[in-house]
Structure 1
Amino acid sequence: MESLRYPPKPRPGDRVAVVSPSAGLPAIFPHVYELGLRRLREEFGLEPVEFPTTRVMGADPRDRARDLTAAFADPTITAVLATVGGDDLITVTPHLDDAVLRANPKPYFGYSDNTNLLNHLHRLGIVAYHGGSVLVHLGRPGTPHPLTLDSLRAALFTPGWYDLIPAPEWGDQPNDWRDPATLAAEPVMFPGTGWRWQGPARVVRGRTWGGNLEILHWLLATDRIGAVADHAGEVLLIETSEELPSATEVYRILRDLGERGLLGGFPAVLVGRAKAWDFDRPHTMEQRRAYADEQRAAVIRALNEYRPDAVVVFDVDFGHTDPQLIIPYGGEIVVDAVGRRISVRY
């Protein structure tokens, strides 16, 4: 792996690429997408630039890769933002022009299926950003969450250190995009529960790697994860999606990372708050708590087997729940289990 470097940051007034390297959901939910674009202009002062596949569902992976490469190559574009996730970006990354990406590093923002691209940029030595979706976060019903806005603004424009904070409220029950009327109502939120710390009281400083756990499993299967030595000493980020993987699956994926020799190399692990509700599984609060407890136990079991001295922080808001904090991917992080603080360098 090449030495990781932070790309230059955009400034208000700049042109930024808005791309759909995974699912072209702007084609299906244009009302949500247009709201996200408007907020990108009004809240951040950035001018979104669309590419041919941004509003296309089922675009050929080669065409999506061509758009991504063009976004990085364009000297007038200073950052690249994903519209949303999906499930097949793994078919896109082989078609990217890596020479162009290396020669024109830019901040890339995305999560979920975008773990494929975040990992790809990591292997090219480019720091990217886990989080920030034009549909999900900028197009959030009601108003964008203030923690998400503050974190995204800092990651976009401000170099230096940023303290993550536990969210005073959280939610995992989004409004139904199929009904445009729901954009006027705030999503259901619950009182914050703070972070849960596990492991020794020490301070870990390193670089980040990881992302959506299900996608990490695909990357393992396709041998697109760097050498064990490339990840030793990094801080692992893991979060799960609206597919609600079982605790057994979570344990088995982490076990696979352990058998690969990766899990034992992470001195600290951040675990995103577990999303435990979806439209086809509208769990009660009691069911959500049970799901999160079972997932937490699965993570602890795997770490006890492969890295029992790791510092672990659960319920950090960087995954598929609301709000979402932006975390640099391959960037620097300090996990302070003494002061119970997490700081990232944007």
Structure 2
Amino acid sequence: MTSPVRPPKPSPGDRVAVVSPSSGLPGLFPLPYELGLERLREEYGLEPVEYPATRKMGSTPEERAADLHAAFADPDIKAVIASIGGDDQITVLPYLDRELFRANPKPFFGMSDNTNLLAFLHTCGIVGYHGCSVMCELGRPGAMHPQTAESLRAALFTSGPYELRPAERWRDVDRDWADPATFDAEPETRPGSGWTWVNPDRVVEGRSWGGCLEIVGWLLMADREVSHDLSVYDGGVLLLETSEDMPSAAEVYGTVRSMGERGLLQRFSALLMGRPKTWSLERRNSPEEGARYAAEQREAVLRAMRTYAPGATIVFDVDFGHTDPQLVIPYGGMVRVDGPARRITVMY
């Protein structure tokens, strides 16, 4: 496989695109969005540039594709950041011009439904960045989580190794974005519980691929942005995490099992499984219910991995998904999983 392109990094003072390739939620919830833009300016020294569909609910796939084309083609734009995720970015993919992206590689930051675009950039040979949206991470009430802020700064402005650390404190409980009182103080967090390692008897160093499990499943069903030459994933590091939709353990098992049946799962030498979100505004689990949900998900993943990739190194509860903090992981870039030392290092 040809080595992917790592796009040049922005510098303080540069212009960065803020786009909504999925949902136009900035138009419905301006408070976290405007706070995120303010932090881009004041804490990172970057000048955000909006596009026609950034704040538009119900924009068409063609409109969102046009925004992405404009952002990547503009030589004055040095990075592209998603405002938030959604649930229909897969419909944008057919309208994207691969040659335009290949000719204008730029760092793209996003997660959740933005797994679609990260996977698209991967097939274009461009390294993306799984993590950080304007509304969720940059627009966090009170202040950004320090581990998120540090990871984003390193991913934006530096090149080289960056060691991930287990969250010292974390959360998955949200407050109402429509209520101004939400932004008066930082959200409550709880002590971190560290990572859980399986088969930590080796060092794996490979390129990452994956993302939000539900989106990966949709891409597989639509047969989009997954290479038919599975050897491109050999020795790689699989990233999987679940969203606030909180799929059941049976659904998680079914998706991971299907990846095994396709012959995909066994190509990867390591799996990083994001800490699952166990609470949402629609499903307000108690701490005990949340712990049971997380345990059932872990067992579902383990059951599939034991069948299809029993020797793979697995690390559970890595903070790169829908919980807070959110560490940025290069998508298609190098990740080193050092089992004996219990360390994970990414290459920004």
Instruction: Name the TM tier (shorter chain).
Output: over 0.9
Does residue 226 (structure 1) correspond to residue 227 (structure 2)? The answer is yes
Deviations 1:43-72 (A, max 9, x none): 100000000000001101001001001100
* Aligned-residue offset at 1:2: 5.3
CA RMSD of aligned residues (A): 0.8
User: Is the Cα–Cα contact under 8 Å of residues 270 and 337 in structure 2 kept in the other structure?
Assistant: yes
Structure 1 residues 104 and 262, CA, compared in 2 at 3 Å: closer, same or farther?
Answer: same
Alignment of 1:168-317 (within 5 A): 168-224=168-224, 225-227=226-228, 228-317=230-319
User: Is the Cα–Cα contact under 8 Å of residues 2 and 123 in structure 1 kept in the other structure?
Assistant: no
* Aligned-residue offset at 1:185: 2.0
Q: 2:200 and 2:315 mapped to 1: Cα distance?
A: 11
Q: 1:329 aligns with which of 310, 325, 331?
A: 331
Q: 1:197 and 1:134 mapped to 2: Cα distance?
A: 31
Which aligned runs of 4 or more in structure 1 are off by greater than 3 angstroms?
Answer: none
Deviations 1:92-138 (A, max 9, x none): 01101111100000000000000000000000000000001100000
Alignment of 1:147-166 (within 5 A): 147-166=147-166
* Aligned-residue offset at 1:200: 3.9
* Aligned-residue offset at 1:78: 0.4
Q: 2:234 and 2:53 mapped to 1: Cα distance?
A: 37
SS in structure 2 opposite 1:188?
Answer: coil
User: Is the Cα–Cα contact under 8 Å of residues 141 and 175 in structure 1 kept in the other structure?
Assistant: no
Deviations 1:130-152 (A, max 9, x none): 00110000000111111000000
Structure 2 unmatched runs, 5+: none
Paired residue for 1:47?
A: 47
The sequence identity of aligned pairs, in percent, is 62
* Aligned-residue offset at 1:334: 0.3
* Aligned-residue offset at 1:3: 3.4
Q: 1:46 and 1:338 mapped to 2: Cα distance?
A: 39
SS in structure 1 opposite 2:211?
Answer: strand
Paired residue for 2:121?
A: 121
One-letter amino acid of the counterpart of residue 309, structure 1:
G
SS in structure 1 opposite 2:245?
Answer: coil
Q: TM-score, normalised by structure 1?
A: 0.99
Structure 1 unmatched runs, 5+: none
One-letter amino acid of the counterpart of residue 106, structure 1:
K
SS in structure 2 opposite 1:206?
Answer: strand
* Aligned-residue offset at 1:170: 0.7
Q: 2:180 and 2:309 mapped to 1: Cα distance?
A: 47
Q: 2:215 and 2:8 mapped to 1: Cα distance?
A: 28
Alignment of 1:34-183 (within 5 A): 34-183=34-183
* Aligned-residue offset at 1:186: 1.3
SS in structure 1 opposite 2:189?
Answer: strand
One-letter amino acid of the counterpart of residue 291, structure 2:
R
Paired residue for 1:29?
A: 29
User: Is the Cα–Cα contact under 8 Å of residues 175 and 183 in structure 1 kept in the other structure?
Assistant: no
SS in structure 2 opposite 1:178?
Answer: coil
Deviations 1:141-174 (A, max 9, x none): 1111110000000000000000000010110001
One-letter amino acid of the counterpart of residue 4, structure 1:
P
Q: 1:187 and 1:237 mapped to 2: Cα distance?
A: 27
